[in-house]
Amino acid sequence: MSKSVPAFLQDESDDRETDTASESSYQLRRYKKSPSSLTNLSSSSGMTSLSSVSGSVMSVYSGDFGNLEVKGSVQFAIDYVESLKELHVFVAQCKDLAAADVKKQRSDPYVKTYLLPDKGKMGKKKTLVVKKTLNPVYNEILRYKIERQFLKTQKLNLSVWHRDTFKRNSFLGEVELDLETWDWDSKQSKQLKWYPLKRKTAPVALETENRGEMKLALQYVPEPSPGKKLPTTGEVHIWVKECFDLPLLRGSHLNSFVKCTILPDTSRKSRQKTRAVGKTTNPVFNHTMVYDGFRPEDLMEACVELTVWDHYKLTNQFLGGLRIGFGTGKSYGTEVDWMDSTSEEVALWEKMVNSPNTWIEATLPLRMLLIAKISK
């Protein structure tokens, strides 16, 4: 069954993050929330927003991993086309997949690929869904525009998924190829091969990749109301100082910036950014962001999400991030997967809460995050 990849090209639509770094972020940006804005997050309308955040996760890890058996195999081949400066992944077919519909013994499978360590939307490619079969045939080429030498730092992750009528995804298995030692000039390396599907690699193992560090400081500033001794609301100040040893996803090119969101509020209006700093893996930002309207009880429920991105043309690639909060797994009584702070992140937040009007500084390791979709 072995044969060479056919020399045809196929257009492949790709979801892309198109938020460009704002030029206005060169100066201090102060987005003032009304005093009731964070309070409203615990109301009924806020709970609706909260549940939608936890249900709209997008990343290489999103989907249902536990319900279906992993079985079967996938046939594909990879090749680097020097004239186009493209990596081609030719996805031929799958056989003997697990049945999502047990009664009718069928699934609606599709194949998705990533070039790791980029797990963002820019690195995602996927085939069409083939309905009602355990042996789908695709014959599609998924293409990546990338310099050949950069492939030495990449891994190809190819996974098979069932997509139901409600657009929910169920994991059917995956294959991962390390491209560091791949022989691109060998004819045998370009042949179609069958690969057995394997269970999901634990996200914890993938998160051990070095994504660099961020040096930052936090401060909580209570605001006493007129005529009252105790403050009713306050401000959280976030001072993003610099990053160290950021990963290079585009060879020697890097143009990084930091984005901040106060979860569970994912609206675009609440998001702030630093300026982009180019040509260094150790960018200095010295950028302060201020959010107000925090009641003391809101500090228990909210989480500061800081993400670092590489801005390239019209796209942004995720490099790593932090989630600074109490890491309880819940927010305003609802279970959320973004309240997942590490022990170091929790320690920084606790020190800030317990030491008002004082800058608390830390250098924390950046990590892989499940990024919540931004609501309008």
Tens digit of each residue's pLDDT (9 = 90 or more) over 205-248: 344 467 899 999 999 999 866 666 666 789 999 999 999 999 88
List beta partners, residue 202: none
CA dist., res. 342 & res. 365, Å (int): 10
Q: What is the CATH number of domain 212-366?
A: 2.60.40.150
Is pTM beyond 0.85? Reply is no
Residue 18: the pLDDT is 33
List beta partners, residue 233: 223
Q: Which residues contact 152 (CB under 8 A, 6 or more apart)?
A: 179, 180
Fold match flag (55-196 vs 212-366): yes
More confident residue, 4 or 288: 288
List beta partners, residue 287: 240
Residue 244: the pLDDT is 94
Spatial CA neighbour of 156 closest among 93, 91, 66: 91
Mean pLDDT check: name the lowest of 16-20, 174-178, 299-303. 16-20
pLDDT in tens, 286-320: 999 999 888 889 999 999 999 999 988 778 888 99
Give the pLDDT band (50/70/90) at residue 272: very high
More confident residue, 1 or 196: 196
* Tokens standing for residue 332: 């305003």
Amino acid at 85: K
Q: What is the CATH number of domain 55-196?
A: 2.60.40.150
Give the pLDDT band (50/70/90) at residue 357: very high
Residue 67: the pLDDT is 59
HSE (side-chain half, CA atoms, 13 Å) at 97: 31
User: Token pair 């003997």 is at which residue?
Assistant: 96
Residue 6: the pLDDT is 39
pLDDT in tens, 89-123: 999 999 999 998 888 899 999 999 988 876 555 57
Mean pLDDT check: name the lowest of 149-153, 345-349, 356-360. 149-153
Alpha helices in 246-290 (DSSP H): none
Largest CA distance in the chain: 82
More confident residue, 254 or 34: 254
Residue 38: the pLDDT is 43
| Contact call for residues 196 and 94 (beta carbons, < 8 A) | no
**Which 3-state string (H, E, C) describes 331-349?**
ECCEECCCCCCCHHHHHHH
What residue ranges do the domains of the chain occupy? 55-196, 212-366
Q: What are phi and psi of 54, to 5 degrees?
A: -70, -20
| Contact call for residues 264 and 339 (beta carbons, < 8 A) | no
Residue 228: the pLDDT is 62
More confident residue, 262 or 209: 262
Q: What are phi and psi of 188, to 5 degrees?
A: -65, -30
Give the pLDDT band (50/70/90) at residue 349: very high
The yes-or-no verdict on residue 34 having pLDDT over 50 is no
CA dist., res. 97 & res. 129, Å (int): 14
Torsion angle defined by CA atoms of residues 51, 52, 53 and 56, in that order, rounded to the nearest 10 degrees: 130
Residue 315: the pLDDT is 80
CA dist., res. 149 & res. 228, Å (int): 64
